[in-house]
Structure 1
Amino acid sequence: MTSSSASQSAAQPGPRRRTVMAAAGAGAVALSVGSPGTSPAAAVTSADAEAAAVSRPPRPGTGWQRYVQGPASRTVRPVRVLGSTGDVRNPPALLKPGGAATTLRRPQPSPAPRWPEGTTAEASSTHAGNNGNDGQPRTYDAANAIDGNPDTFWNDDTLAAFPDVLTITMPDARQLSGITVISNSDGVPTAFTVDAWVNDAWKTVATVTDNDVIQRAVPFAASVTTNRVRITVTAVQDTSRGAFTRINEVWPEPVEPVVAPSVTVDFGKVVVGYPRIRFTSASDNSPGVRVAFSETQQFLTERSDFTRSDQSGGAGRGTDQFAVPAKGADWTDHKGFQAGDKVYADGLHGFRYLRIALDALDSDAPAAQPWGTVAIDSVSLDFTAYVGTPGTYRGWFLCSDDDLNRYWYGAAYTNELVTDTFRQDDVDPRNAWSASLEGKLVLHDGAKRDRDPYVGDLAVSARTLYLTHDDTAAAARNVLADLADHQRADGWIPPASISSYTLPLFDYPLWWVTCSWDYVLYTGDRAYAAQYYPNLLKVLDTWYPSVTDEAGLLSKGLNNTGGYGDYAFLGRTGRITYYNALYVQALKDAAQLARLLGHSADATRWAQRADTVTEAINTHLWDAAAGAYLDSATGPARHAQDGNALAVTAGIADADRSASALAHLDGTTQLPYGNAFMDNDTLFDGASERVYAFTSYPEIEARFIAGRADSALDQIRRTYGWMDSHDPGITNWEGIGPDGSLYEDAYTSMAHGWSTGVLPALTHQLLGARPTSPGYATWEVRPNPGDVAWAQGQLPTPHGALRVSWQNTGNTFRLDVDVPDGTRATVALPVNGHRMTVRSRNRLLWDGRHASDGRASIVDGRVTIPGLAPGTYTFTARHTG
């Protein structure tokens, strides 16, 4: 799930990964050089490169294990020290527990300068006050900048309209040599001037540009005698919530900050869990440490890129706090206060980089002090998510393209990070906790945030789970069942537990339908289907008809749904192709579920409704001039990735329209980092530069389905290649913004389950294996090789392992299939049957014109062999001329 913010900032591009193939005993091995997301790679020799030309595919079941990213145990340690500041001795010792300690030292600071009694302050504008989480009023007026309390601040009310002016007036004139400006981390003035009232006129005494520090000493060119000082802010650091000025304190002297001693460690990839720091000793003044976390170096600062307390009152002001006892402590970061209402920690974090600083919040005194000495033995993490090791993978994938292998296992690891137990202290604080989910395994949307199970995200992340660790399929069932149990009286199903199950989304009840079918399709859990069939009836036959117009199309705005959002909180109303294409898919999936349970009348009704909606989409939402489906029937013409892709995958678009729509997306949305989800900016500024892997997944599938495997692979390589080769590496981002940036700055989740579609796409479409009826009772193998020379993999089924392996050369396509007991398979070879012969072992099945035994036939241009009983099969197709 994503938030509604549309702000982005450019990310620093990382080096592209260079890969070469090297021979190994088990097959081809990829060695990576220069990736910011991985540990240093081994050197590659020229002999290795030469061996690549003669390397052979790995044997089935071997070679893929090297790509697995999960930790070896639940205790995870950093892989390197990234850097340190201030007085830090022996930083590398943090990586070696039980040896010498890392020591941080900081002298006791002098008292802060104070303005004379009677000094006042006024501002050009002031943001209105409000109440904090404790119910107490918060004010943001100018007086906060001179009250001696750095926890309060002046906040302007102009939101990016400059200048912002703060004027400080003393009761009597005095000599000033400068001032110090202390600002809030999310309102730092980057450019400002300081004027003094001298000889009945304002005189500029200092100009500051390119400021990026919270405590800025501003010495004057020469001392002045004055009773008034004016600070004029002309620029501030932009944030995801806009640009505004926040000044916590102004001191009447220039005071250079004493650099807080800090050390930053790198865990090598995004991890999730409870940070743990072993302190061996400390000075006897309760020195504090502030621990900051970030998924990227770009947003690695003195505060975390995100903390849950930011959404629940900001008790920790962006860091987790701990006051170190003199005898030391083995501290595990859990949510709560260490001393009364002081020294707060947020608990679980998702991050790659961890920064420990000897520092403390002023509000935490005297329980924690920002000075003293602290000795640290080691840093680690108690990993809470699913631990994916080579031994736990029940499904795997491997092919001749090392990049694709890396993307598949990067997606698997991303999904492991969000497969976790629902715990009250660790979920989104915006009323997401639910007693009905507490203690259950779930699929959260992100490792860092929102940490709540959203059903739309399951449309991708649950498929990834079923194909890797299907023994934890309960994680998907728990979410689907819980949301159904909270169905509204009118049939609407909530998208998540957030906001006490009331977040109004228009599309997510449809995703509940499709995800419920997916769950039954992959697991065969008929009991779930029967138990929640009444919920299916209610959402499809009560709620969605209430938002259906005279043409049979869903129209957001009907039945008071104008304010409802969707997966990206987009401001779309009326007839939207995406909603209606998803509706068609949900109706078709529901019809299959109805047939499974013997409700033939419901199945027929839903199938007929799907046909009606399909016809209406093609009548009212097809843009013949553009050759693509409109995003919306009203407003400026634009064409969206979501609607056009789903129109193909749901079978709404025929072959001609599929080809045309995908060609339109080719010509209007291609970017170096994927395909944009809109072809222009009429919805919001920057829409044509934003990439969602969530909506890219159905487009990638659509390209495979439409016979455009090369373009599907190109899209995969651009989208996932960008994420893989840029910080933090390996994991899949929530969204990508202009120029490949983090689309919501520091708030962006860099390990998001809804972005893992590359994994099911490669397994189901490239390898070609997928279930066609519940529990894999029937399944098919329909490879789409593109430019890939070979692929192999295993799919876990309730009946045992389903194994597929193929090799594709210029003249021959060979396919090996293991059909588990209790299942039946269909094979559709990606060959032109009129120019190929097909054999199974030594038996001729197809002679280039017709079948020798009557079983093989040409279906959709492929030689297709249905009804394969359990056993092991080899098919070889060769050119006849």
Structure 2
Amino acid sequence: MPSHHHAWSADLIAPDDDFAGAPLLRKEFALDDGHGAVTSATLFVTAHGIVEPSINGVPVSDEVLTPGWSSYEWRLRYRTHDVTRLLSSGSSVLGLALGNGWFRGRLGWSGKGAFYGSELAALAELHVTFEDGHRQVVGTDSSWRSGPSATTANDLYDGQSIDARLESRAWTVPGAELTGWVGVHSVEHDPARLQPYAGPAVRRQEVLKPVRVWTSPAGATLVDFGQNLVGWLRFTVQGPAGTEIVVRHAEVLENDELGTRPLRSAAATDRFVLSGDQDSFEPTKTFHGFRYAEVTGWPGELAADSLEAVVVHSELRRTGTFECSDDLLNQLHRNVVWGLKGNFLDVPTDCPQRDERLGWTGDIAAFAPTAAYLYDVSGFLDDWLADVDAEQQHADGLVPFVVPDVLKYVDAPSSFPAPESTAIWSDAAAWVPWALWRAYGDRDALARHYPAMTAHARRVESLLSETDLWDTGFQFGDWLDPQAPPDDPIKAKADNGVVATACYHRTLRQVAAAAEVLGRPDDAGYFSALADRVRSAFRKHYVSDGRITSDCATVYALAIEFDLLEGQDRQDAGDRLAQLAQENGWRVSTGFAGTPFVTGALSSTGHLDAAYNLLLERQCPSWLYPVTMGATTVWERWDSMLPDGTINPGEMTSFNHYALGAVADWMHRTIGGIAPLEPGYSRVLVEARPGGGLTWARSGLDTPHGRVETSWTVDGDAFALEVTVPEGVSASVRLPGPDGDSAAEVGAGTHRYTATIAGGPEHG
């Protein structure tokens, strides 16, 4: 986290007229005379809403949607930009273009917006330093002016409307006569909220061209970008003045037309009115989750090179790769990567397209280990965890369903429970920091997140029954169990008390271990003892004769993976889990709770073949079924699209949710064979376990200490492995087959191994 906070002197200012929710703010200024050349100039900027700063009409940076979405009540982040190159001698214009963003736009499914305030406002300070040491400060204050832009409507869910006839660059030019411009007024705010970003900004990341443009049966012009992505369209066009081009976005087609029903009330529609000259459009005050676009009103013929899709997400560095001999698995892995990209847009969201896009805590609790392998998400999740901490501090340790918690402002449907800690979702306060600790080994980050970890653990302790079980109150439980009714995703087979108690045990072990790392022996002892009590209670009340209450895949997976069983009980649970998986024809029978852990529970109890059978199954519900249906991201439901190509009839479905993609963590560790033995991979476990008919796999991971790479092949019963270990790292290499128990400890360099595996590659 940046250590220094900027001490602000400027005012937070709002325009005297709202100008359709997209006002422009400007200040003309001259550089102070007689101090020599400018040696540096720094702009600090934030807003209520989103802000695009410019100097003399030149954008200050390539960032978009700044300052993103944080728990604005307590944290408003600002960006710092070096703008030395943009200042000109003589007069300059500092400009700020505002939009509704998350602050005032619609959020959630209530149809409402403006949860954080009714006025857009901006805060900016330009600090100029001259040769002789003189400093000049230009900040937002009552002398600024505000005026209209070419944007006539903007909302993250509903889209943006731009009228090119209203476009003018005059506002960026010193000395311009501006008609229709009015003043500004200052807005009260608490400067203590202002914090530098801990995480990365949102930027345009890549550009995709259409793979197909055609006319639908109903006569609509449709465009396919070949990939479900998040961002917007960008194009340059010329046509008669007043012509309106309308672009609607959707993730899928249904009956050969745009499938917009899953968007619910999100209009996801951009409108562009032409000026008559050549117009360039890019709607940077919204974003859409889409693969397909429907374009109406285009002058002349729309061709594949007429427009492009701009992919937008937080700036993240790719760290982990995986590929193998099975093309469907490779596509599944690509889908997981794209799901992360689409939903890591400032806040880790459940989905990026419908009227929701919220920071659901349960989704990232499940997905954090996968995310931390694929990308360096340390800064991104560190920033979000600061919001988790802020929310729980102001709710007596309660970690809400979503962070930032906008649901506290929404009249919940009567079916919705009163807010209380809930397993997996609230457990994000422990599971996410722990996943980051394992991936990056950053002790300072763990220390920052520790208060929220313990606050959550203590709150849930107060919710336990006299029996030491977490078996009362609302739980999402094994949400979206594929055997639950489509309109009632909460009706899972797994007993809620079993799920919640198991998850709480995992949290307690992580909190105790974190206390140990941070040198807090009293806490470590306390949470460890509590974990022991919860574990005994779980076994006493839920385990009997090798069966666990509610006898379904999820409860066995959690009991095994969260270390609630030992000896024969553990083996019996593994055997029963494999039996249930086989009886279900290797189709998935777990929801949010069980899915991240079911393959691991099988492979860690001697059922590697069963884990592969589950992973490689293609019938619905399975991980590969969506891939066979052409999916390019991970779906929210196993059957978001039915085999006949129609969309799931439930009220809630999305084609870009990363939660069920958490199986990629097992793929990285078990197929690729790369796992941390020590936090931050200072020691690495290399244990590739071939199966499922795979003949080769390759993985690589940029760890904090350098790149680890594995590559293996199977030919008949001959297994060959190559491992590359960076300087300063040691690896424990375990080989498959009868020699599997003998691990080799190796240091830096490239190492080669061979082993004989029984029976060669088979897939049952």
Distance 2:573 2:673 in 1: 20
Letter in 2 for 1:705: S
Q: Which residue in 2 is equivalent to 1:733?
A: 635
Q: TM-score, normalised by structure 2?
A: 0.62
Letter in 1 for 2:253: Q
Q: Which residue in 2 is equivalent to 1:155?
A: none
**Aligned residue pairs: how many?**
525
Q: Which residue in 1 is equivalent to 2:223?
A: 265
Which stretch shows the higher mean deviation, 795-804 or 816-825? Answer: 816-825
Q: 1:748 to 1:530 in 2, by over 3 A?
A: same
Which protein shows a greater Rg?
1
Shift of 1:325: 4.2
1:676 to 585, 589, 595: 589
Q: Quick check: 1:868 aligned with 2:732?
A: no
Q: 1:499 to 1:490 in 2, by over 3 A?
A: closer
Q: Which residue in 2 is equivalent to 1:350?
A: 289
Q: Which residue in 1 is equivalent to 2:362?
A: 456
Letter in 2 for 1:525: D
Structure 1: runs of 5 or more not aligned: 5-70, 86-258, 336-346, 359-371, 423-441, 631-637, 678-691, 834-860
Q: Which residue in 2 is equivalent to 1:298?
A: 254
Q: What's the % identity of the aligned pairs?
A: 25
Distance 1:763 1:621 in 2: 32
Give the alignment of 1:595-614 within 5 angstroms: 595-614=516-535
Per-residue CA shift, 1:734-787, capped at 9, x if unaligned?
A: 112395575465852212121222322111122222112221122212222123
Q: Which residue in 1 is equivalent to 2:113?
A: none
Q: 1:815 to 1:591 in 2, by over 3 A?
A: farther
Q: 1:277 to 1:591 in 2, by over 3 A?
A: same
Q: Which residue in 2 is equivalent to 1:622?
A: 543
Q: Quick check: 1:660 aligned with 2:563?
A: no
CA contact (8 A) 1:304 1:319 kept: no
Distance 1:703 1:805 in 2: 23
Q: Quick check: 1:397 aligned with 2:326?
A: no
Distance 1:534 1:498 in 2: 18
CA contact (8 A) 2:503 2:558 kept: yes
Q: 1:824 to 1:468 in 2, by over 3 A?
A: same
Per-residue CA shift, 1:238-279, capped at 9, x if unaligned?
A: xxxxxxxxxxxxxxxxxxxxx7x6311111111210223443
Letter in 2 for 1:615: S
Q: Quick check: 1:707 aligned with 2:635?
A: no
Higher relative contact order (CA 8 A, sep 6+): 1
Q: Which residue in 1 is equivalent to 2:43?
A: none
Letter in 2 for 1:544: V
Q: Which residue in 1 is equivalent to 2:413?
A: none
Structure 2: runs of 5 or more not aligned: 1-107, 110-202, 409-418, 481-488, 760-764
Shift of 1:726: 0.9
Q: Which residue in 2 is equivalent to 1:550?
A: 466
Q: Which residue in 1 is equivalent to 2:59?
A: none
1:651 to 529, 542, 563: 563
Distance 2:446 2:205 in 1: 36
SS in 1 for 2:296: strand
SS in 2 for 1:532: helix
Shift of 1:874: 2.8
2:624 to 694, 697, 721: 721
Distance 1:750 1:820 in 2: 38
Q: Which residue in 1 is equivalent to 2:206?
A: 74
Letter in 2 for 1:381: A
1:495 to 395, 401, 410: 401
CA contact (8 A) 2:222 2:293 kept: yes
Q: 1:666 to 1:575 in 2, by over 3 A?
A: closer
SS in 2 for 1:734: coil
Distance 2:531 2:238 in 1: 66
1:582 to 503, 516, 528: 503
Q: Quick check: 1:823 aligned with 2:725?
A: no
SS in 2 for 1:396: strand
Distance 2:381 2:255 in 1: 32
2:389 to 470, 484, 492: 484
Q: 1:874 to 1:327 in 2, by over 3 A?
A: closer
Q: 1:281 to 1:880 in 2, by over 3 A?
A: closer
Distance 2:365 2:210 in 1: 33
CA contact (8 A) 1:444 1:454 kept: yes
Q: Quick check: 1:332 aligned with 2:247?
A: no
Shift of 1:75: 2.8
CA contact (8 A) 1:641 1:696 kept: no
CA contact (8 A) 1:295 1:750 kept: yes
Shift of 1:804: 2.0
1:409 to 328, 334, 343: 334
SS in 2 for 1:816: strand
Distance 1:555 1:880 in 2: 45
Letter in 2 for 1:329: D
1:698 to 560, 581, 597: 597
Letter in 1 for 2:229: V
Per-residue CA shift, 1:639-692, capped at 9, x if unaligned?
A: 444332211211223432322331353155447xx4123xxxxxxxxxxxxxx4
Q: Which residue in 1 is equivalent to 2:448?
A: 531
Give the alignment of 1:750-765 within 5 angstroms: 750-765=655-670
Distance 1:725 1:279 in 2: 37
Q: Which residue in 2 is equivalent to 1:778?
A: 683
Q: Which residue in 2 is equivalent to 1:344?
A: none
Distance 2:672 2:278 in 1: 54
Shift of 1:574: 8.4
SS in 2 for 1:862: coil
SS in 2 for 1:276: strand
Q: 1:790 to 1:723 in 2, by over 3 A?
A: same
Q: Quick check: 1:385 aligned with 2:385?
A: no
Letter in 1 for 2:602: R
Q: Which residue in 2 is equivalent to 1:209?
A: none
Q: 1:607 to 1:742 in 2, by over 3 A?
A: farther
CA contact (8 A) 1:275 1:381 kept: yes
Q: 1:699 to 1:264 in 2, by over 3 A?
A: same
SS in 2 for 1:509: coil
Which stretch shows the higher mean deviation, 521-530 or 869-878? Answer: 869-878
Q: Which residue in 2 is equivalent to 1:837?
A: none
Distance 1:302 1:731 in 2: 18
Q: CA RMSD in A?
A: 3.5
2:694 to 784, 788, 808: 788
CA contact (8 A) 2:361 2:403 kept: no
Distance 2:635 2:725 in 1: 36
SS in 2 for 1:791: strand
Per-residue CA shift, 1:23-56, capped at 9, x if unaligned?
A: xxxxxxxxxxxxxxxxxxxxxxxxxxxxxxxxxx
Shift of 1:520: 1.1
CA contact (8 A) 1:280 1:376 kept: no
Shift of 1:799: 0.4
Which stretch shows the higher mean deviation, 482-491 or 809-818? Answer: 809-818
CA contact (8 A) 2:554 2:593 kept: no
SS in 1 for 2:623: helix
CA contact (8 A) 1:628 1:660 kept: no
Letter in 1 for 2:451: P
Per-residue CA shift, 1:511-561, capped at 9, x if unaligned?
A: 3211111111111111111123222222212x111110122111222xxxx
CA contact (8 A) 1:829 1:862 kept: yes
SS in 2 for 1:831: coil
Distance 1:609 1:864 in 2: 34
Shift of 1:386: 5.7
Distance 1:623 1:782 in 2: 33
SS in 2 for 1:385: strand
Give the alignment of 1:182-331 within 5 angstroms: 262-282=220-240, 286-298=242-254, 301=257, 304-307=260-263, 310=265, 316=267, 319-327=269-277, 329-331=279-281
